[in-house]
A = this chain, B = another copy of it.
């Protein structure tokens, strides 16, 4: 048995207090935005003293970095359905489901805006979340190339942007609705565009019938 006594009267950060703060943090973020977000309001919502928050994280940015990291680790799931069409479909379905959650819709653009302002936050997010997601996307594309579904000459950078950009733009930036067929059409467009990438552009220049 481990004799790991705390130095007499030593208390330990209580996990349920931490969890309560974490929930309150994201709820408040979604409600008022990162800039306006105050530790005090988080503590109030978590029914916790302010000191309990500051004992855990030194700042708002540190709090966001750590909590987002904890969430993000389980998020970059690689599907590998066996075909490019299946992989793209699964990826877009997942992203669609994620971006439909109100909390995410509110927090994501705010996070990107704050990253433009706070270098530490930007670094933390880019190295912890975006890198993983980008690596996952690259793997997906390389598998398709290996299967012969895509040309080896395609521009990976551009292809990755293509896969991610449209859904984000539609759902987060424009705020327009994604009608029943939109997601399906988007899948088709993405697939078709990927397939022609790396080819000779002249081939497509004939006027469509």
Contacts and interface: CB of A to CB of B under 8 A. Distances in A.
Q: How many copies does the complex hold?
A: 4
A207 B117 CA distance: 45
SS class, residues of chain A in contact with chain B: helix
B35 A112 contact: no
Interface string A138-173: 000000000011110001011001101110111011
Interface of A: 32-37, 105-106, 109-110, 112-117, 122, 126, 130, 148-151, 155, 157-158, 161-162, 164-166, 168-170, 172-176, 182, 185-186, 188-189, 191-193, 195-199, 201, 204-205, 207-208
Contact of A112 (B150, B173, B205): B173
Contact of A35 (B35, B115, B188, B207): B35
